[in-house]
Amino acid sequence: MKIYSWNVLCYNKKFEEMCDFIEHLDFDVLCLQEVPSELLARLQGMPFTVVSHVDVIRLVSNTNHEKNYVAILSKRPIQNRGTLQFFDFPFPFHTRIFIALMRPFNFSFVTERGAVYADIDIGGGMLVRVFSIHLTLWGPHNRAKEFEVVTEHLQPSAPAIICGDLNVIEYGPMKILNWLLGAPLRQATPWYPERDLFEERFAAANLHNPLKGTITHEFSRSQLDHILLTKDLRAARAWVHPEAHGSDHRPVAVELAARPT
């Protein structure tokens, strides 16, 4: 069983190439983040079951609000689905200035952050809860709070897969972005151990990270994109797709090992 996760970039300029890649990709479950409305409509016409929820509403201007979505595409039967709602948080004055300066680069304030999950029948009467999530850029402390909302929806002794862009920044010089976007200054130091802290959170939630140590986002030199498995699932292999197809993220994938019979 092949699981993919991909942040498609809501401003992806290679729209037709992106759609063609998705339509012909060899997957069982594909989780997407930053899905614009136009792409969601296109996905709903493809021969897969699609569940979705608002990822974020971008406050581009006082009169222009753009919805992006998280989505799960499945070739396997979906027995149940649900949504998660994250929280809004205040923006310090310096963050407001930074966002204003970065508007030409598509930065904007956001609201109504959320995620989606689906209970998918993978055969033999076994259901796996699959999440598609996109954690905030606005600091490690807020990312941690959002991740806690997700893990609260894990079911004890039931297999689960958490897919998505967790925005965990590993490259030291890039961590200044944490402070610019509202985090405490100590979280912007090059030695702030966000990766280690998140790996500890994974372990505490009975999750493991088959893609640990890979770079999925070239600019940040970090593993932003994750496919986390509960300990009762095992990865036969895990990889990063070589082409980004117009996104700033490359798709990531895990193939599950066959279950003992």
What's the rounded mean pLDDT across residues 99-110? 86
What is the signed CA dihedral for 260, 240, 163, 254, rounded to 10 degrees? -10
The percentage of residues in the chain with a pLDDT greater than 90, rounded to a whole number, is 82
For residue 89, what pLDDT is reported? 84
pTM summary value: 0.95
pLDDT band per the 50, 70, 90 thresholds, residue 107: confident
pLDDT at 261 over 50: no
Question: Are the beta carbons of 244 and 250 closer than 8 angstroms?
Answer: yes
For residue 233, what pLDDT is reported? 94
Question: Are the beta carbons of 221 and 194 closer than 8 angstroms?
Answer: no
What's the rounded mean pLDDT across residues 95-105? 89
Among 3.30.1330.60, 3.40.50.970, 3.30.450.40, 3.60.10.10, name the CATH number for the domain at 2-256: 3.60.10.10
The two tokens of residue 257 are 């090992």
Over residues 65-91, the pLDDT tens digits come to 889 999 999 999 999 999 999 998 888
For residue 60, what pLDDT is reported? 78
What is the signed CA dihedral for 47, 50, 55, 59, rounded to 10 degrees? 60
Over residues 241-254, the pLDDT tens digits come to 999 999 999 999 99
Phi, psi of 7 (to 5 degrees): -85, 110
The DSSP element (H or E) to which 32 belongs, if any, is strand 29-36
Instruction: Quote the distance between the C-alpha of residue 206 and its chain's center.
Output: 19
More confident residue, 65 or 196: 196
pLDDT band per the 50, 70, 90 thresholds, residue 259: low
The percentage of residues in the chain with a pLDDT greater than 70, rounded to a whole number, is 99
Over residues 134-173, the pLDDT tens digits come to 999 999 999 999 999 999 999 888 899 999 999 999 999 9
Where do the structural domains in the chain lie, given as residue ranges?
A: 2-256
Lowest mean pLDDT among 14-18, 19-23, 103-107, 167-171: 103-107
Expressed in angstroms, the distance from the first to the final Cα of the chain is 16
Question: Are the beta carbons of 66 and 10 closer than 8 angstroms?
Answer: yes
Query: Mean pLDDT of all residues in the chain?
Result: 93
What whole-number distance in Å separates Cα of residue 200 and Cα of residue 132? 21
Collapsing DSSP to helix, strand or coil, 173 comes out as: helix
Over residues 20-70, the pLDDT tens digits come to 999 999 999 999 999 999 999 999 999 999 999 999 988 877 778 889 999
More confident residue, 196 or 91: 196
What whole-number distance in Å separates Cα of residue 254 and Cα of residue 235? 6
